[in-house]
Structure 1
Amino acid sequence: MEGTKVLIGDDDPNVCEIIRLYFEKQNLHVLEARNGEEVLALMEREKPDVVLLDVMMPGKDGFEVCREIRQRWDVPIIMLTAKDDEVDRVLGLELGADDYVTKPFSPRELVARIKAIFRRMDRQAKAADDGRPHLVFPRLEIDGRRRVVLVDGKPVPLRPKEFDLLLFLASSPGTVFTRDELLEQVWGYDYFGDTRTVDAHVKKVRQALKAIQPPCIQTVWGVGYKFEVPGDGGMET
C-alpha cells in the first residue's frame, strides 16, 4: 500500500482535503481533480493505482467518467455516493466500479476498502500463477491461466471480476450458488458490498456472452445462479 497513487475526483475541496491529509499520513500519494475532465486528464498523465469518483461532479459526472475509464484502463474504482441510493450503487457497479462508499464516510474506511481491493487482486494473481482450469464448452472456451474467454473462437473482453465470476460458475456446471456464496468465493470475506454486486456482474457477463442463447449463467429464482450449457457438461484440459 505504501506509495500507492490515489486519484480523488470530487468537486468538494473540504472532502478532498480531509482524504488527502489522512492518506498522506498513510504514505499514500494523492492526486486531486475537481471535475470529470480533470480526472481523465490525470488518468492519462499520472496512471494512478486506484480512483475514487464522486457521483455528482460538474460536467461529466462520476458515472460517465467511470464508463470512460473502464474503456481505456484497468484500475480499481470506488464510487463516492452522497446518499444510500440503490439505483446509484447498482448503476456504478454495472459500469465497472469495484466498490462504493456512501457519504459521510471516514478516510479510515476508504483506506480499508482500498486495502481490501488490493488483497483480492493479490489473491487472484497468486491463483493465476498456480494454474487455473481450461474449460471448453460448445461455442465457449474459458482459459483460466491466460484469463481469456472465446465465443466461436473470438475473444470476448471481460473485466477481472466478471471473468472470475464466470470461471467459478463454469468450473461447477449445474451447481446452484447463492449470492452470498458467490460473494464469499469470488469477492472474498473482506468484501464490503452486498448481493446486488453479484446481480450487476452477472448482467455484464450475460451481455458479453449474448451470442450464446439461452444464457449460460442462469437464474435460479429465490436461490441464486448456476452455469449450464444445454446438452454439454464441458471439458477441462
Structure 2
Amino acid sequence: MYKNNLILVVEDEDEIANILLSYLQRAGMKTLRARTGEEAISLNRLNKPDLMLLDIQLPVCDGWSVLTTLRQESPVPVIMVSALDQDVDKLMGLRLGADDYVIKPFNPSEVVARVEAVLRRTQASVQQLSDAPLRTPFITVYPNDFYVEVTAGEEAISPVLTTTEFKLLTYLMRHPRKVCCREELLNACLPEGDALDRTVDSHMSKLRKKLELAGLFGVPESIRGMGYRLGEKR
C-alpha cells in the first residue's frame, strides 16, 4: 500500500541512517537521506517527500529548528527521532507540529510501522473528505485541496497547516456548533496516535496560533472541562 512513498531520513549518524534506509526500502518505500538540517530543508523543498524522519540532535541546525521552518512552509508529515525521552521533549515536538515521536534506541521494524501508520492517517484523511468547500464568514476550508483561506482582515491569508491541524479544523468546520470532546477528536482525527488529551491540546494550540497570525482570533474555542468547538471571530 505504501510502496513508492518517498521518505526523507534526516540523520547525521551513518549507522542509524543506514538501518532506517534499509528497513524502509525493504518495506517498498523510496528513500532520501539528509545529514544536516539545512540539507533536510533543501531536499524537502526540491523533492516533496511523503514523510520525514527527523533526528533532533543534528549539527548546527537542530531538529527543532528544522521542524519550525518546515511548519512555516510545508505540510509534510514529520516523525521526530531522538534519544531525548522526557515528556517535555515529546510535547515540544507536538507543539511544533510533529506527527509522532520515536525514542532511540528503537526497533527499526516499529519505526516502519509508525511510518505506515502516519502515512495511512495523513493520506486517507484527504481522500475521505468531500469536495465541497466549508465556509464561515471569515474562513474557508477546501478539503480535497488541503487549503485554508482566512479572510478576517483586508486580504485573504492562507496559513500552512500540518495534516493533523487541517483534519482538526475540518472536523470542527463540519460541526460548527458542536462542542467536541477530546476523545471524539482523537478518534476522528488521530486514530493511530497516542490517545492522550494533551495531544489534542497541543495540536489545537498550534492551530489557534496559526489562525491568529492570519488575523482570526477565537478559533478554535476551548470549552473548559468539555473540549473544543469552532468558535467565532473576535
Find the residue that maps to 2:206 and give its secondary structure.
helix
> Are residue 10 (structure 1) and residue 11 (structure 2) matched?
yes
Separation (CA, whole Å) in 2 of partners of 1:56 and 1:125: 32
Match of 1:83 in 2: 84
Q: Which residue of 2 aligns with 1:125?
A: 126
Equivalent residue, structure 2, for 1:234? none
SS for the counterpart of 1:32 is: strand
> Do 2:122 and 2:164's aligned partners in 1 also have CA atoms closer than 8 Å?
no
CA displacement at 1:149 relative to structure 2:
2.8
Match of 2:230 in 1: 227
Is the Cα–Cα contact under 8 Å of residues 156 and 208 in structure 1 kept in the other structure? no
Q: CA deviation at 1:57?
A: 1.1
- Match runs of 1:76-155 below 5 Å: 76-128=77-129, 130-132=130-132, 134-137=134-137, 140-145=138-143, 146=145, 147-152=147-152, 154-155=156-157
TM-superposed CA distance for 1:63, in Å, is: 0.8
CA apart distance, 1:55: 0.9
Residue identity in the other structure for 2:205: K
Q: Going by fraction, where is strand more abundant, 1 or 2?
A: 1
| Aligned counterpart, 2:199 | 197
What percent identity do the matched residue pairs reach?
A: 34
Q: Give the letter aligned to residue 108 of structure 2.
A: P
Instruction: Report Cα offsets for 1:45-66 as digits up to 9, x if no partner.
Output: 4443221111111110001111
Q: Is 2:74–2:160's contact at 8 Å kept on the other side of the alignment?
A: no
Matched, 1:33 2:34: yes
Moved more, 145-154 or 197-206: 145-154
* Uncovered stretches (5+) of structure 2, i.e. residues with no partner: none
User: Which is higher, the Rg of structure 1 or of structure 2?
Assistant: 1
The aligned runs of 1:157-176 (5 Å cut-off) are: 157-159=159-161, 160-176=163-179
State the TM-score, normalizing by the size of structure 2.
Answer: 0.83
Give the AA of the match of 2:150.
L
Name the counterpart of 1:235. Answer: none
SS of the residue corresponding to residue 105 of structure 1 reads coil
Counterpart-to-counterpart distance in 2, 1:39 and 1:136: 37
Among 180, 202, 219, the alignment partner of 1:177 is: 180
Indicate how the Cα distance of structure 1 residues 46 and 144 shifts in structure 2: closer, same or farther if over 3 A, else same. closer
RMSD: 2.5
Question: Distance in 1 between the 2:165 and 2:103 partners?
Answer: 24
Residues 30-49 of structure 1 deviation map (CA, whole Å, 9 limit, x = unaligned): 32222212323433444432
**Cα shift at 1:193:** 6.2
Report the count of equivalent residues.
226
Q: How far off is 1:16 after superposition?
A: 1.4
Q: Give the 3 Å change call, closer, same or farther, for CA 227–49 of structure 1 in structure 2.
A: closer
Aligned partners of 1:32 and 1:193: how far apart in 2? 31
Distance 1:102 1:163, change over 3 A: same
**Aligned-pair distance for 1:133?**
5.2
TM-score by length of 1: 0.82
Asked whether the equivalents of residues 135 and 171 of structure 1 are also in contact (C-alpha less than 8 Å), the reply is no
Contact 2:51 2:78 in 1 (8 A): yes
Where 2:136 maps in the other structure, the secondary structure is strand
List gaps (5 residues or longer) in structure 1.
232-237
For 1:44 and 1:135, locate their aligned partners in 2 and report how far apart those are by CA, in whole Å. 30
Whether the 8 Å CA contact 1:80–1:101 is kept in 2: the answer is yes
Match of 1:19 in 2: 20
Structure 1 distance, partners of 2:11, 2:85, is 17
